[in-house]
Structure formats: structure tokens, C-alpha cells
């Protein structure tokens, strides 16, 4: 186990999280810990059946993103299965909540609900996983954010139409930079994965008048993996990237 690369991915049941889990499993000598809301679901059983490269394996754990206690229980379950460190922690699970509401209409409860899932959920995951991240020789913490969370480009992105989601992703961005600032051995950064052909991505694209999202899950996954594989403390950590373009996004 000590020589295995361990990757922990929240929200591995669908979308980009599922695609990332499958990609890492295709690499030899990798242990992939993936969280889903319901480990007994048919979807979860499909993930467990993903083909694994030589020396690789998949562990399925339960995390409901609105639960702040689930991450700690999931990490303990992984430890019981022999995981003694985490090399790559990917806070992927999230959600946009209900329909888009303008700033003068969105309710505090809507903002709270979306913030809990997209910011406080990753915070709880980070806190639970940190003791195992600290045991890695090269720990990486990646947050799957969104361009909607950029304050500097809000007007250009017209992100003001999604205040709950934008506030939540800006919170995730802050957490990522704090992890970078407080841990000099970490590589911690966030990415906008692109407008991807997932359920949520396609809904957002239709709201923009597009037939579907322009980027495939494979395009986004390959771009994210390239960023992670080549990430350095000096060039990558503490920053916000557009995964598809490979360029920085202003905070």
C-alpha cells in the first residue's frame, strides 16, 4: 500500500468525478477512493465494476455533501481498508441548487443550502483527509470550482445571474488558497472544468441558448489530469485555472 498512489475523489458517482475515477483506475498501482451519496445504488455498483489496471483498486465510500460528518466516516472507512496516506484529494462533489435567481430575488436559505454543499462540504472533506494528506510525499488538493465563482470576471461571465452558486464557489476558492498558504508542502489549486456535457452542464448550456455544453467529459477530464500531473508549488499552487484553456482565471 505504501507505494500505491492514492487518489480520493468526492462525487465519483457521476459527471466529471466518475470520469476522473475511471481515468485514475486505468493507471497502474493506483488506489482510488470514490465517494457517492448511496453506495447501494445501481450507479455505485457500476463504478465498482470499472476495470482496473495492474495493482490498482477502487474503494467506494459514502459522502452526502450536505453532511459534515460523512467525510470523517469515509476517511476512517478508507483507513480500515488499508489506506495510510492520500496523494491527491479532489473536492469534486457539488451542485448548483435550484433555478437561477437574480441577486434581488435569491433567498438566504438558497444561498445557505448551496454554500453548505459547495464550500463547507469540501472544507469538511479537507479537514477529515488532512492527516492522510500530510503523510504523502507530494500532497495535492484540487477543488473543482466554476468560472461563476470568479469575482474579477463576474461581469464578463455574466455570473451575477447565479448568486448562490457563485458565492459558494468563491468560498471554495478561498478555502483552496488558504490550504496553499497554510501548508508549504502542498500543491493546492482550483479549476473551472469547462462547460461540460454533464446533466448540470447541459442544463446551463440550454439556459444560454446552446443545444448542449461544448466540452465532453473526456476533454475536461484529460485537461484536469494534465494540470494535476504537471502541477508544481511555484507555477500551479494557489491559483485558479480554466482547465480547457489552460489559462488563469482572476479571483
Q: Out of 60-74, 84-98, 193-207, which region has the weakest mean confidence (pLDDT)? A: 193-207
- Using pLDDT thresholds of 50, 70 and 90, give the confidence band for residue 99: low
Q: Which residues contact 70 (CB under 8 A, 6 or more apart)?
A: 35, 62, 63, 64, 124
Q: Is 88 a domain residue?
A: yes
For the segment 203-209, the average pLDDT, to the nearest whole number, is: 58
Find out whether 186 and 141 touch, Cβ atoms under 8 Å: yes
Find out whether 194 and 243 touch, Cβ atoms under 8 Å: yes
pLDDT above 80 for 211: no
pLDDT above 60 for 207: no
- Active-site hit among 165, 186, 217, 239: 165
For the segment 192-197, the average pLDDT, to the nearest whole number, is: 77
Structural domain range at position 55: 5-182
pLDDT above 50 for 148: yes
Q: State the chain's mean pLDDT as an integer.
A: 91
Q: Is 248 a domain residue?
A: no
For the segment 103-132, the average pLDDT, to the nearest whole number, is: 96
Q: Which residues contact 76 (CB under 8 A, 6 or more apart)?
A: none
126 is catalytic: no
Report pLDDT for 172: 98
Q: Is 13 a domain residue?
A: yes
For the segment 111-139, the average pLDDT, to the nearest whole number, is: 97
Could you give the number of structural domains in the chain? Answer: 1
pLDDT above 50 for 2: no
Q: Is 208 a domain residue?
A: no
For the segment 60-88, the average pLDDT, to the nearest whole number, is: 96
Q: Is 19 a domain residue?
A: yes
CATH number of the CATH domain containing 171: 3.40.50.720
**pLDDT tens-digit series, residues 22-39:** 999 999 999 999 999 999
Find out whether 145 and 169 touch, Cβ atoms under 8 Å: yes
Q: Is 126 a domain residue?
A: yes
165 is catalytic: yes
Question: Cα–Cα distance between 40 and 52 in angstroms, integer?
Answer: 20
- Active-site hit among 130, 140, 169, 217: 169
For the segment 91-105, the average pLDDT, to the nearest whole number, is: 82
Q: Is 233 a domain residue?
A: no
Amino acid at each position: 500500500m505504501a507505494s500505491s498512489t492514492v487518489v480520493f475523489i468526492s462525487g465519483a458517482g457521476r459527471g466529471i468525478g466518475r470520469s476522473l475515477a475511471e481515468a485514475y483506475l486505468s493507471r497502474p498501482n493506483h488506489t482510488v477512493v470514490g465517494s457517492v451519496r448511496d453506495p447501494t445504488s445501481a450507479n455505485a455498483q457500476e463504478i465498482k465494476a470499472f476495470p482496473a489496471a495492474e495493482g490498482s483498486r477502487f474503494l467506494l465510500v459514502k459522502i452526502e455533501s450536505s453532511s459534515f460528518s460523512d467525510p470523517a466516516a469515509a476517511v476512517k472507512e478508507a483507513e480500515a481498508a488499508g489506506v495510510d496516506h492520500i496523494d491527491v484529494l479532489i473536492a469534486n462533489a457539488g451542485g448548483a441548487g435550484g433555478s437561477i435567481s437574480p441577486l434581488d430575488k435569491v433567498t438566504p436559505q438558497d444561498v445557505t443550502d448551496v454554500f453548505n454543499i459547495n464550500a463547507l462540504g469540501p472544507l469538511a472533506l479537507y479537514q477529515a483527509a488532512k492527516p492522510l494528506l500530510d503523510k504523502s510525499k507530494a500532497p495535492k488538493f484540487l477543488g473543482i470550482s466554476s468560472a461563476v465563482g470568479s469575482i474579477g470576471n463576474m461581469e464578463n461571465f455574466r455570473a451575477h445571474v447565479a448568486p448562490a452558486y457563485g458565492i459558494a464557489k468563491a468560498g471554495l476558492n478561498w478555502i483552496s488558497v488558504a490550504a496553499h498558504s497554510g501548508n508549504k508542502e502542498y500543491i493546492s489549486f482550483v479549476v473551472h472544468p469547462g462547460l461540460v456535457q454533464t446533466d448540470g452542464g447541459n442544463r446551463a448550456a440550454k439556459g444560454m441558448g446552446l443545444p448542449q455544453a461544448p466540452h465532453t467529459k473526456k476533454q475536461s477530464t484529460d485537461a484536469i489530469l494534465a494540470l494535476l500531473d504537471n502541477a508544481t508549488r511555484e507555477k500551479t499552487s494557489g491559483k485558479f485555472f480554466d482547465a480547457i484553456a489552460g489559462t488563469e482565471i482572476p479571483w
